[in-house]
A and B are shown apart, each in its own frame.
Chain A
Amino acid sequence: MCRSRHWERLVDNTAGAILERPREHSSVRAAPGVLHALLAEFNSPGELRDAAGKVRDAGFKRFDAHSPFPIHGIDSAMGIRRSMLPIVIFCGGLTGCLTGLFLQWWTNASDAGVFQWALDLVTHWFQAFLGYQYLISGKPYFSLPANIPVIFELTILFSAITAVLAMLMSNNLPLFYNPLFNSRRFRRATDDGYFISVLATDPKFDAARVRELLTGAGGDVEDVFELPSAARFPKVIHRVGLTVTMLALVPLAVILMARYGKSPDPRIHIIQDMDNQPKFRAQHADLAFSDGRAMRGPVGLSADHPLGLTVARGELHEDSLYNTGLVGKVFAETIPFYRPELTADEHFVRRGQQRFNIYCAPCHGRDGAGAGMVNEHALTIGGGWVQAADLADDERRSRPVGYIFHTITNGIRTMPAYGDQIPVADRWAIVAYVRALQRARHASAADLNPDDLANLRNR
């Protein structure tokens, strides 16, 4: 009997219980249908075993014994051969073992680059399956001892699943409809009854002979019929099946719509992951303040006073000479040493040298001659680079200190402004150091003190 028909006849023992009920109550049975098997009940496990032996000896193949628990010795009595299941399970276990080994090597130890030529042949989609060398604490990429637990677990898992599936498949289960269930008495096979069924499909089957054989072995024989109603497929299953199928397609349809449809709305953000947090954002409205603005201006801000009426501490910059190098609109000629931040001593110039070597020397060079490393490299590339100025040429030596300060602060030509990076006092220190460089580059022997001069001469 083919399996699809079994499926169709699932009805009778499951949903078909509905169909069966009226028949149970009617005293007269309708046409009994096709003979499926002869069923005989026995009184004890021992009788069952002996009877099974007789049926087997009579040459029947398609017969079976049914009991509520496994019966000792019935396998040899019925001629049941030793099951091949252990071999199948061993293969399942071996597959699990190799899967564990391969999985760990592929994901944590394989060098995908080696296979790149092959991967280029397959689709982009396959990239998600690539493994790579996974370096953990300098350990070997592939170390069997660390991989044994997972290999062991997968071996057991695959074996167990294989065992159960192989058992069910070789037993032809699940099989929801079985004509034997038409016998009410047969229900005791799972309680305290012992039965032998001989199927009508057995090549040697002859109802009269089988009946005689089973009765002779001490059995109480009954005919089991394949009911005609079993062939009918109840409409309710169609309806339920159709409804379930349609409902099952809904999520798939939604996913496809979302995947291939277009929408101006942003994506639905189910898992926030702290992506959106309560915070003040620049130029945004915020109801936390009475004016409805997230950004806070200076105190006294109003339509009449767009910059407010107050200045933050340290932001007044009222000393124009110190902060801009300008007196009115004229560049200052002297460094504003009257400020407490600036001191006219060697320490001040040394500070200027140190800052100069950080900020200025990359282009202007440590001697200020305009041959810094960036400048030299940029000239080899070309492309609009303006040669860094020689800070000690005649033009620059004639510049007032205010002009140099102003240039550092705001930049000139391709030189960027350094006002944001270098504090005011340090800018003045750099100015002092630039002046020292200019003097040094154009010094005469008379400028040196006698000891240094003597040292030089003795070299």
Chain B
Amino acid sequence: MASIVQGDIDNTWDDPARRTPLVTGDIDLKTVTDTVCGVAETEVYKTPTAWTIAFVISSATTAMLGLMVLYLFFTGVGVWGVNNPTGWGFAIINFVFWVGIGHAGTLISAILFLFRQKWRTGINRFAEAMTIFAVICALLFPGIHVGRVWMAYYMFPIPNQMGVWPQFRSPLLWDVFAVGTYFTVSLLFWYVGMIPDLSTIRDRAKTTARKIIYGILSMGWTGSSRHWHRFEVTYLVLAALATPLVLSVHSVVSFDFAVSQIPGWHSTIFPPYFVAGAIFSGFAMVMTLAIPARQYFGLKNLITLRHLDNMAKIMLATGMIVGYSYSIEFFIAWYSGSGYERFAFTSRALGPYAWAYWTMVTCNVVVPQLFWFKRARKNLVALFIASIFINIGMWFERFVIVVTSLSSDTVPSSWDYYTPTIIDILTLVGSFGLFFTLFLLFCRFLPMVAMAEVKATMPQAHAGHVSQPALGEARG
């Protein structure tokens, strides 16, 4: 990995007198197009071996997920480790985990866009893709955990001959609307943003199939300034719509817990705590994917060290919020004077699941402290390993919340230790297979970096402006 570090140009410095380049190396617009499209245009027989191996493994894992889901459908939820009182096992843990990961993409696209953080252009496209694939994985779990899956349509307000409607005062139903809206809006945001880049691939296409497919996907985009005008308005509005949406989705997910009266769940800190955790885990996943992707697809000049540095800073900040939430939960449990709350939290830290709790604290609170050091933020190996730890830690956070509170509820006679079955574990592994399969397909066939947006931040975008001097646009 030492060679990777050597090949990177350090653009993490801040000097008010000079503009920090967002794109490194001596490259122009054409190079950006060639670099990004080159990946999507590689001929089948020239597919990188690493990609093929990764794809074979991940699609086999997806096939396993399919088998696990079929086994579940044909046999029933008894194949999982859920018991009484722990009725929410891996399915809900995985759901919250994946939805959380899906937050970074829209955050980067929407919130950083509104804040004019131009460095987002290098990573927004595949962070958005990651969002969509993570939300697909997330949507799988509530869909399959309902027991009789063929009744899953009860989740939607569909007129039926029985006159049965959903109960709109339930947080579980809000969840259906929140995650469904989030998926739709993220997909629209991703796709609309991709139309200009798809037209770039269309215009470079050599084969008939590519001309037809990318021709349909790009909808006949010509780069018309009249179109760009409306495109930019739409993009801005979508960003403004998606910003409160990002904050609302994990808040609504947290209502699934907070609105119930289970000790350890019934807490007003849940919405902000969940949102911070979601951003934290989302950035960790972007980091996990970005580091190998920029390495293998030659995107080092577009996804620069500065991008990784900025992401590490955001992870440090959100990691601190998460750590603060962990401690304030204990304070409130003590301060509330409620014996049940106090027990729930004592049991979390010292009870049967103490191992999970301390794994979570180590990964989510201790590991990100590394990012205080600039050397660590510039070290790809350190960043990659830390991001993996944070992914693990955030999964355990959901495990701790779901399992500790349920397995030791207010009636001691019904306490039971929750142990997942092999089916639970293989389903979780399979969801990673689905995620990576979709992500690999995206890397291979779609523009991985928002070319039009990157070009707009480059100095060449302001060349020849006689009546207006070049502005310090690229200041990230």
Contact = CB atoms under 8 A, between A and B. Distances in A.
B168 A150 contact: yes
A72 interface: yes
Interface string B220-241: 1111111111111110011001
B211 A47 contact: no
A64 B212 contact: no
Interface string B8-42: 00000000000000000000111001000000000
A191 interface: yes
B212 A17 contact: yes
B225 A50 contact: no
A13 interface: yes
Interface string A127-154: 1111110101001000100110110111
B466 A46 contact: yes
12 contacts: A21-B208, A64-B222, A66-B224, A68-B200, A68-B223, A71-B461, A128-B161, A147-B169, A149-B177, A150-B174, A153-B245, A154-B181
Interface string A150-190: 10111011011101101110110111111011000011111
Interface string A22-52: 0000000000000000000001111101101
B400 to A, nearest CB: 25
B465 interface: yes
A189 B455 CA distance: 13
Rank and list the top 7 A-B pairs by shortest CB-CB distance, nearest first. A46-B464, A44-B464, A174-B219, A187-B203, A192-B29, A107-B165, A46-B465
Interface in A229-284: 271, 273
Interface of B: 28-30, 33, 148, 150, 157, 159-161, 163, 165-169, 171, 173-174, 177-178, 180-181, 184-185, 188-189, 192, 196, 199-200, 202-204, 208, 211-212, 215-216, 219-234, 237-238, 241-242, 244-245, 248, 252, 255, 451-453, 455-456, 460-468
A164 to B, nearest CB: 5
A191 B29 contact: yes
Interface stretch (A75-83, A361-369, A422-430): A75-83
Interface of A: 13-15, 17-18, 21, 43-47, 49-50, 52, 64-75, 78, 80, 83, 85-86, 89, 93, 103-104, 107-108, 127-132, 134, 136, 139, 143, 146-147, 149-150, 152-154, 156-157, 159-161, 163-164, 166-168, 170-171, 173-178, 180-181, 186-192, 195, 271, 273
B101 to A, nearest CB: 20
B211 A161 contact: no
Nearest to B186: A160
A43 B464 contact: yes
A163 to B, nearest CB: 5
Given A154-B177, A164-B234, A69 B455 contact: yes
B221 to A, nearest CB: 7
A18 B208 CA distance: 7
Given A70-B228, A171-B227, A180 B222 contact: yes
A18 B169 CA distance: 57
Given A85-B230, A157-B184, A66 B167 contact: no
A166 B235 CA distance: 12
Given A14-B212, A75-B229, A171-B231, 18 more contacts: A13-B211, A45-B462, A65-B225, A69-B196, A70-B229, A70-B231, A70-B452, A86-B233, A89-B237, A128-B161, A128-B163, A152-B248, A153-B177, A156-B245, A160-B238, A160-B241, A168-B219, A176-B216
A132 B163 contact: yes
A268 to B, nearest CB: 14
Nearest to B169: A146
Given A13-B211, A45-B461, A160-B238, A178 B160 contact: no
A74 to B, nearest CB: 5
Contact of B192 (A65, A70, A80, A167): A167
A83 B233 contact: yes
A273 to B, nearest CB: 7
A192 B229 contact: no
Contacts of B168: 103-104, 107-108, 146-147, 150
Contacts of B452: 68-70
A68 B455 contact: yes
B225 A70 contact: yes
Nearest to A104: B168
B203 A15 contact: no
Contact of B230 (A150, A161, A167, A189): A167
Q: Which of A154, A171, A181 has the most CB of B within 10 A?
A: A171
B77 to A, nearest CB: 14
A70 B219 CA distance: 18
A153 B233 contact: no
B248 A50 contact: no
Highest count of chain B CB atoms <10 Å: which of A15, A49, A146, A167: A167
B135 to A, nearest CB: 14
A17 B211 CA distance: 7
A170 B229 CA distance: 11
A124 B77 CA distance: 38
Nearest to B456: A69
Contacts of B224: 64-66, 171
B221 A173 contact: yes
B220 A72 contact: no
Residue picked from B30, B168, B233, B462, most chain A C-beta under 10 Å: B168
A65 B224 CA distance: 6
Given A45-B464, A72-B465, A190-B199, A171 B226 contact: yes
Nearest to A129: B159
Contacts of B248: 149, 152-153, 156
B269 to A, nearest CB: 18
A80 B181 contact: no
A126 to B, nearest CB: 9
Given A154-B177, A191-B30, A72 B219 contact: no
Contacts of B161: 128
Contacts of B189: 160
Given A143-B169, A177-B220, A157 B185 contact: yes
Contacts of A156: 181, 185, 241-242, 244-245, 248
Nearest to A109: B168
A74 B462 CA distance: 12
Given A150-B177, A156-B241, A46 B462 contact: yes
B465 A49 contact: yes
A163 B222 contact: no
Contacts of A170: 230
Nearest to B197: A190
B232 A70 contact: yes
A149 B208 contact: no
> Which among A13, A150, A189 has the greatest number of chain B C-beta atoms within 10 A?
A150
B173 A71 contact: no
Contact of A189 (B178, B219, B222): B222
B1 to A, nearest CB: 34
Given A154-B181, A160-B184, A175 B228 contact: no
A107 B159 CA distance: 10
A208 B137 CA distance: 59
Contact of A107 (B157, B185, B252): B157
B229 A80 contact: yes
Nearest to A21: B208
Contact of B225 (A14, A66, A89, A149): A66
B462 to A, nearest CB: 7
Contacts of B202: 190
B219 A273 contact: no
Contacts of A152: 244, 248
B229 A83 contact: yes
A14 B216 contact: yes
Contact of B465 (A45, A67, A143, A173): A45
Contact of A85 (B184, B228, B233, B462): B233
Given A72-B465, A108-B169, A192-B30, A127 B163 contact: yes
Given A70-B225, A159-B237, A161-B184, A13 B220 contact: yes
A143 B234 CA distance: 34
